[in-house]
Chain A
Amino acid sequence: MRHKASPSRREFLKTAGTAAAAFSIVPRHVLGGAQFAAPSEEITRAVIGVGGMGQGHLGYTGARTVAVCDVDQKHLDSVLERLEAGVTGHRDFREVLARDDVDVVHIATPPHWHGIISAEAARAGKDIWCEKPMTRTIGEGRRVVKAVQRHGAIFRLNTWFRFRDNFYGFGSTVQPIKKVVENRLLGWPLTVTVGPVTGFDWKFQWSGRTDLVEEPVPEELDYDFWLGPAPYKPYHTHRVHGTFRGYWDYDGGGLGDMGMHYLDPVQYLLEKDDTSPVAISVDAPLQHPDAASSWRRIEMTYADGCKIILDAEISGDVPYISGPEGNLYKGMRSDLPNFEKILASLPEPDYQEPDFYKAVKERRKFPLNEANGHRSCTLVNLGVIAVRLGRDLRYDPVREQFIDDDAANRLINQPMRAPWHL
């Protein structure tokens, strides 16, 4: 047997501390022993976070809900009243992950919890359906990708426009746009403009307030647990539940809320699922340290010259996608001659399976998974960092670090309140 080398300081420090809590988990389909889990076997799920978006998850067909979890007792009670008998309620997500009768966890908490719960769920042998944004920071996203891939979990984000549904105010699904781009009808590189003028509202109503005075914590809410890894800030109603999006500690304002919906399809269209922009520029007022607010324009440029422009103020008949050979406008209009006929003659893009529970049964990567989801979430987080710092940035998409910018890099891995870590 090979003699193990003396541990490095890093290894020593790693093992010197307390071991993380061990979970006694035996996934349901392993308990089945030699019985192979047939594809027709029912999938069970737990929904963590049932205040707002989580209630929508309870309605998704294809799996049976066996547990719900929330740190607000009122939310929990209200949901349990409406669900069938046999569904149990929990205040602590770790109890949910420890259950051997849960196959899939739906994570519908505020974003500052997404990374921790996703990674722990993967570690517990669960598959994961996570709300967007995937993670609040780029660093958390990288860790989730590692955890999911290490444990063979099937992961999806709760955004879907790259493979179904009408794409907000654009007036079409993404598939015909993909045909246009994939076949280089507009040339290359391309510039995509995302804003009200092309059919996308940046929802600045999700701005935070700068006048919060401490309020008593409601009895039904475990505020310390709600905060979790986020820095301690005194309680105020506007920080939690329906309005948490307005605070940097938990989300990223309208950009955090809608960014992945709008930008993930753009990443797919521009064939950038495995990379990130190299330059980010911003036009915004100075931001508050706590409360998110509006911005005017964010531009992200990839190494090959493709550009994504997030614009809140531009007006006029601006193309959604602009290229050296032509433009594509809202409503699938183009200035290319015989556009409709040419479009009809193009082959359809590669198939994308839209059924997550089918992917779980077949153990297949979902079209929007942890890897490409992390990249589209990175677009959101790059924008958030640029807005918060109020200046242009340069980014290395391979090392996933900012270039020569210590302050920006400090926002990639942000501290977490003990005992939470990722």
Chain B
Amino acid sequence: MRFLSAFHCSCALIAILGVLCVPDAHALSLEETLQSMPPENAAVADEVFTQLLNEPDALVIALCDRIVPPDQAPDAAAQFALYGLAKHVVVPGREIQRGRMARLFEAALDKAGHPDVRRFFMAQLRVCGDAATIGALDKYVCDPVLCDDAVQSIAVIGGLDAVAPLFMRNCPDAPGKDASVQNALMRFNSLPDFTPEETGLSAELLAYLANPAAVEDAAHVAALCRDALAREGVKSQYKAMALQMLVSVAGENALPDLLQAAESPEPLLCGAALLLAHSLPGERLSQTWADKLPEFNESLRPRVLAMLGRRDDPAAVQAVRDALADPLVEMRLAAYEAVTRHSGADMTGPLLDALKRADSEKEIQAVKAALLRVPDLEQNVSAALNDRPGYETDLDPAQKTACLEIIAERRAEQPLFIDAVRAFLLDADGRVRRAACAALGATGTPSDFDLLYQRLLQEERDAEADAARDALAALAKRLEAEDGIAARTGEALASADGTSRMRLVKLLAALGTPAALEVTRAAAEQVLFSEAPDAGYAVQLLETLGRWTDPEAGDLLAGFWQRLEEETLRLDALKNYIASVQRSYPDAAKQRDVLAPLAEQCRTDAEREAVNTAVARAEKELNKK
């Protein structure tokens, strides 16, 4: 029996020792908490803070103790942890934990000595504080340093009811308390405080402005507003307030007041009237505004039309349409802007007529923009032109250009438009021809390559030739005919000279394809290594390769440089190779790595200088970073 008892006692002792020695697997230490900050995502954060809240208060208190005054290095991990806890407990369902954290933060607030440390805990209480926190913060309302922080925090947590009583507190050490309370109260008003002295408006009207829901006698309030609008000395921004109130209480009956305000010499009031006009929709009102249009001065009339342009009733729409032919250009401009908002196909004809009448670039562009907003434009223009035979014959250059720009932008490939484009390609005006080239580039067919080649080679001025070049490249790209055009250009190059040759080389560069590069290479090879190289042509070819975006062009230039003997051509090849490297490698380090080894291969001082200058420039870029 004694043996058994001893055995049982030993087992019990071993069991007790076991419990004392085996560590609790779920305990979280301060160090572990700090090391886990910040958690990578919400799920991990939830796990960490749930675990943290399972620990005794001592852990949170230890975290709070790590918040130090601002003259010491802050403990960011502790800050993360405490802010994370505050946010964690405000989720519905965690009210008990929220209360617990609020009490802990309140205790930390009281324990802290430094005002900035106290501010930290007030900030956490603004997140998770509850009704009881108001009492904890109350003692700081009269603190000379923390008064404002305490008042603002009480306002956040307790709202208007919590802040209002603070007015009654006597705080001799915190003379700013009343201002802080007043400031906090302002948060609960949607409007700043206006006074009769400042605004010139009556106290009664100001009260209704502050509290529109209190209006019961709309006629009376309307009379107050009209009185304010008529009063001398009331600034326009306050008249605008009165006008707004008038519209809200009088509705359509405020229309005469809006009309009068629109004619005010005060621009702000005038503008306010036009903006407020939108809050009174309806055809009858639009008709009233439209009928008064001729009576308004020239400055106001377009603005009223712009207002009508944003209304969608038939009277407003008609007023805008009528304005398309108004003698005042500002009216017409306002009409172009608005007319397509509610109109579609039926506006095409009037807009074409407007384009023909337009006598300034500004007006032409405005009509063009309006035409581009018409749906199914090509179809509608075709139909409208049926009623306007010979429309295109007496357009001036600016108008023709606008038509061509529209065709280009719309990629209008219908025969009617392409025929017009081809015709304008031979127009006497260079600007028209340039626009025609661009349009053909966007809409042309394979048969148009010949036309564009003609323009490229026959245009007197480079501007028009460049337009033909760009159009050729664009058309080739669109029709996937770049290789064919490159080959054709190569053939033409063989028998070209002077200006034509230069333009053909530029065309190859514009194409930019591997096939075009090969043609350029072949041409350069032939010229550079002929018995008597044409220096001008050679330089042009080298410069073209230097500007090529394909790094292979750079390799070609490097090869030419290494093979050439003639000093001037070598230098040109080298300089263009350097330019190619700088273009191909935006990274300065890469530029330096490619260019630096060239120095060893340089034969002349001029070549070495070119390389060294380029390397130095790359180094300078690197040192900036």
Q: Which residues of A contact B (CB under 8 A)?
A: 1-2, 4-5, 8-11, 13-20, 22-23, 25-27, 29-30, 32-39, 119, 122-125, 142-143, 146-147, 149-154, 210-214, 231-234, 282-290, 340-341, 344-351, 353, 361-365, 389-391, 404, 406-407, 410, 413-422
Contacts and interface: CB of A to CB of B under 8 A. Distances in A.
A34 B265 contact: yes
B360 interface: no
Contacts of B370: 351
Contacts of B341: 350
Contacts of B155: 415
Nearest to A296: B41
Given A289-B123, A416-B183, A418-B176, A25 B235 contact: yes
Given A214-B71, A419-B179, A364 B306 contact: yes
Contact of B266 (A29, A347, A389): A29
Contacts of B160: 10, 13
Interface string B111-149: 000001001100110111000000000000000000011
B249 interface: no
Contact of B268 (A27, A33, A415): A27
A37 B182 CA distance: 40
Contact of A351 (B82, B303, B373): B373
Given A13-B185, A211-B74, A421-B183, 15 more contacts: A10-B188, A14-B210, A22-B197, A30-B268, A146-B191, A154-B271, A212-B70, A234-B70, A234-B71, A347-B372, A348-B373, A349-B373, A363-B275, A390-B42, A419-B183
B45 A410 contact: no
Nearest to A289: B83
Interface centre among B238, B240, B266 (most CB of A within 10 A): B266
Contacts of B267: 29, 36-37, 361, 363
Interface string B168-201: 0000000010111111111111111111011000
B80 A288 contact: yes
Q: Which 8 A-B pairs have the closest CB atoms?
A: A363-B271, A152-B272, A415-B152, A210-B76, A22-B198, A421-B186, A152-B240, A17-B182
A191 B72 CA distance: 47
25 contacts: A1-B220, A8-B211, A18-B178, A29-B266, A38-B299, A125-B268, A146-B191, A147-B192, A152-B272, A213-B73, A214-B70, A231-B149, A232-B149, A234-B71, A288-B38, A289-B83, A362-B271, A362-B303, A362-B306, A363-B270, A406-B90, A410-B127, A415-B155, A415-B187, A417-B148
Interface string B339-371: 011000000000000000000000000000110
A413 to B, nearest CB: 6
A36 B299 contact: yes
A16 B168 CA distance: 12
B79 interface: yes
B411 interface: yes
B39 A347 contact: no
Interface in B249-304: 265-272, 274-275, 297, 299, 302-303
A18 B198 contact: no
A407 B87 contact: yes
Interface in B370-401: 370, 372-375, 377-378
B458 interface: no
Interface string B410-427: 110000000000000000
Contacts of B566: none
Contact of B179 (A232, A234, A351, A418): A418
- Max chain A Cβ within 10 angstroms of own Cβ: one of B80, B217, B370: B80
Given A22-B198, A351-B369, A234 B116 contact: yes
B207 interface: yes
Contacts of B31: none
Contacts of B70: 212-214, 233-234
B406 to A, nearest CB: 10
B74 A413 contact: no
B164 interface: yes
B179 A285 contact: no
B204 interface: yes
Contacts of B40: 285
A390 B373 contact: no
Nearest to B75: A210
B269 to A, nearest CB: 7
Residue among B235, B341, B374 with max Cβ neighbours from chain A (10 Å):
B235
A191 B456 CA distance: 46
A341 B411 contact: yes
A405 to B, nearest CB: 8
B237 interface: yes
Given A13-B160, A418-B180, A286 B80 contact: yes
Contact of A288 (B76, B164, B194, B274): B76
Contact of B84 (A15, A122, A286, A340): A286
Contacts of A340: 411
A361 B306 CA distance: 14
A13 B216 CA distance: 22
A30 B235 contact: yes
A213 B71 CA distance: 5
Contacts, number: 258
Contact of A415 (B41, B156, B378): B156
Given A36-B297, A286-B37, A406-B90, A123 B116 contact: no
Q: Name the prevailing secondary structure of the B interface residues.
A: helix
B549 interface: no
Contact of B237 (A2, A152, A348, A363): A152
A174 to B, nearest CB: 16
Contacts of A287: 38, 83
A414 B433 CA distance: 63
Contacts of B91: 391
Contacts of A232: 116, 119, 149
Contacts of B181: 17
A123 B409 contact: no
B374 A363 contact: no
B33 interface: no
B83 A288 contact: yes
Interface string B207-251: 100110010110010000000000000011110110010000000
A418 B175 CA distance: 12
Contacts of A353: 337
Contacts of A32: 265
B498 interface: no
B87 A17 contact: no
A159 B184 CA distance: 32
A98 to B, nearest CB: 12
Nearest to A345: B410
Contacts of B529: none
Given A4-B204, A288-B80, A421 B187 contact: yes
A14 B303 contact: no
B148 A11 contact: no
Contacts of B275: 149, 152, 363, 365
A22 B79 CA distance: 42
Interface in B72-108: 72-74, 76, 79-80, 82-84, 87, 90-92
A416 B186 CA distance: 10
A223 to B, nearest CB: 13
B7 interface: no
B187 A413 contact: yes
Contacts of B182: 17-18, 418
A19 B182 CA distance: 10
A172 to B, nearest CB: 14
Contacts of A391: 42, 87, 91
Q: Chain A CB within 10 Å — which of B183, B303, B378 has the most? A: B183
A211 B306 contact: no
A158 B83 CA distance: 34
B153 interface: yes
B192 A417 contact: no
Contacts of B585: none
A15 B38 CA distance: 47
A210 B411 contact: no
